[in-house]
Every structure is written in C-alpha cells, then in structure tokens.
Chains A and B, each alone.
Chain A
C-alpha cells in the first residue's frame, strides 16, 4: 500500500529565502508522485509530477522536487520565496491498489511568507 508523510504542518520563511517542504513516501511499487498547491478558497493545482523519467523535476512558479529512492523522499524546493507563494502544499502518491488509481494525499503544509 502507498502512503505519504509531510513533515511540518506549517512552514514560515522570509521573502527571498529558500523554501523547503518535506515529503516522504511509502510504496511497494515504483511510485508516481505529485505536488499540488492550494490557494485560499480554491481547488488544487498541479505544481509538478514525478513519473520515473528524471529524478529532478521542474514545475511551475520556479518550484522543483528531487526524487530520492534511497531516502524515499520527494522534497519540494524553491530558491527564493515570493509573497505569492503563500498557500497550502500537498504531496501525493498514486494508489495502484486494485483498479483505483486515485491519489493518496499527505496532510498538507501551509507555507507563510514574511515580508
């Protein structure tokens, strides 16, 4: 069975500082991994996805994530935070149990950006 753990329910950074949001996964098969962003009162928008092609994945808005099989991690980073990055971020893994194919989500990390 697949699962996802996001470390830290809240992360606060200063504008211009490095953003690091942590995600660890558990999967008995090669995983498909995703990061989504949710702005207040909106739906989820895909930031980036890992589908086994390349371990360093670049997404929208300057975000990237590195798949590390040895650490079972898929941490999200951005070199320089912007005020507009304040949102909630969700890591997810695709569930291959049965015929589901649904995404299994972590509990989310709320990112605050201080001026």
Chain B
C-alpha cells in the first residue's frame, strides 16, 4: 500500500527554469493538496483540489499552477522558478472526514 507518492525527492533548479512536481495517491481520496514547508512557518497551503476536475488557490498560490489529472494524480508546476520558492513541498490527500495523508516530500532548491 503506497499511500501518497511524490516525485522527485530532490531537485535543484536555476532561476527561471520550470518544473513539475508529481503526486499520486492510491487511497481513493477525493481531496488532494499541495503544501510548502519553510523553517518556522509550519505548512502553508499552495493549492487544493476538492474533487476531480476542480482546483482552488490556497494561502500562497503565487508562482504556481496545478492540474488534477484524474482522481489519483495532482501535479504542481513552477513556470519560472525563483529563489523564494526554495522549500520542501508536500502533497497530501484526504476525504472530508478523515485525516490527511502525506507524501515524503520534495526538497527543491532554486539557485
């Protein structure tokens, strides 16, 4: 039972480059989320998808786009990476009345 799988685990980008973070869950959850974690800031919501075909902005959406490809997959895209996007990114999934299950994270450095 894999749970939530994120790829890649590590990435170094140059300023201005683009990349897509991939996330897949096998728990048949309706909702999926992307968070970023920065020291002393806890986890902040970037985007979420309450169900297949819908996406909405969270607390810190600027500089990001998302795609809910199907019920299992939710990707996060950085179109033009900036040093301020250096962070650890977590994907999570849940149903409305369950806890959230998290992936192992993607450690992104933008130089």
Contacts and interface: CB of A to CB of B under 8 A. Distances in A.
Interface of A: 9, 32, 34, 36, 41-46, 49, 51, 90, 98-108
A49 B99 contact: yes
B74 interface: no
A9 B39 CA distance: 10
B41 A107 contact: yes
Contacts of B99: 34, 46, 49, 103
Contacts of B33: 102
B40 A43 contact: no
A105 B42 contact: yes
Given A101-B94, A103-B92, A105-B44, 17 more contacts: A41-B107, A43-B4, A43-B90, A44-B102, A45-B102, A49-B99, A98-B56, A99-B50, A101-B31, A102-B31, A102-B33, A102-B100, A103-B99, A105-B43, A106-B42, A107-B41, A108-B40
Interface of B: 4, 31, 33, 35, 40-45, 48, 50, 56, 58, 90, 92, 94, 96-97, 99-105, 107
A101 B96 contact: yes
A102 B58 contact: yes
Contacts of A41: 105, 107
A23 to B, nearest CB: 12
B31 A44 contact: no
A108 B42 contact: yes
17 contacts: A9-B40, A36-B102, A41-B107, A42-B105, A43-B4, A43-B105, A46-B101, A90-B42, A98-B56, A99-B50, A101-B31, A101-B94, A103-B43, A103-B100, A105-B43, A107-B40, A108-B40
A51 B99 CA distance: 10
A90 B43 contact: yes
Contacts of B96: 101
Contacts of A101: 31, 50, 94, 96
A113 to B, nearest CB: 20
Nearest to B45: A102
A43 B103 contact: yes
